[in-house]
Amino acid sequence: MIVCGLPGVGKSTIANALAPLINAVVLSTDKIRKELIPNPTYKKQEKKLIYNVLLIVTKYLHKAGINCILDATFNTENSRKELRKKLGLSQEKICIVECICPDDIVISRLKDRKNDYSDADISIYKKMKKIYQPIKEEHIILDTNQQSTKTNVKEIVNQLLKKNKKK
């Protein structure tokens, strides 16, 4: 499962609340980055390294039968396609949850953020929003401002159950 979206929309909150309900581990690019690079620069090569580590760990866990939730922006169509390709999984095998939220709420969340793995601030949010590419394939869109986290994760689980019944 991929939980993606812009900084401050609630990806990590949703991923961490969802994980115990679907017996999954959360793999966060923010956390991986901070574990590997104490003072990240966020340059292209660094980003590539972090996403490659995410993919390698995901691949091993998937082969071991462990469910994974990937908590990352995955802000381009290419990044999402590359993920499927490198993992060798079809579109049906990967569930994408796109977290969205109104700008004013995101900005408020980013201002209030403390002791977080993410370094994203308002300027990064605005920069990423300009380059964020819409998800074209089937996915779940979750407005994290509309309902409680508990209600949102229940909604995801229900949609997963419906999707699995169709198979």
Please name every residue paired with 70 in a beta bridge, in sequence order, or none if there are none.
2, 27
32-43 pLDDT, tens per residue?
A: 999 999 888 888
What does 50-111 look like in DSSP terms, one character per residue? Answer: HHHHHHHHHHHHHHTT-EEEEES---SHHHHHHHHHHHT--GGG--EEEEE--HHHHHHHHH
77-100 pLDDT, tens per residue?
A: 999 988 888 988 877 788 999 999
Sequence-separated contacts (24+) of 154-159 with Cβ below 8 Å: 156/14, 156/18, 156/97, 157/18, 157/21, 157/22
Tell me how far apart the alpha carbons of residues 73 and 50 are, in angstroms, rounded to a whole number: 12
Tell me how far apart the alpha carbons of residues 124 and 145 are, in angstroms, rounded to a whole number: 20
Tell me how far apart the alpha carbons of residues 3 and 21 are, in angstroms, rounded to a whole number: 15
pLDDT, the chain, mean: 92
pTM comes to 0.93
100-120 pLDDT, tens per residue?
A: 999 999 999 999 988 788 888
Q: What is the DSSP letter of 23?
A: T
Superfamily name with CATH number, domain 2-148: P-loop containing nucleotide triphosphate hydrolases (3.40.50.300)
44-63 and 29-36 helices, crossing angle to 10°? 110
pLDDT of residue 52: 93
Domain boundaries, the chain: 2-148
Residue 167 has pLDDT above 80, yes or no: no
| C-alpha dihedral (97, 131, 27, 50), degrees to nearest 10 | 160
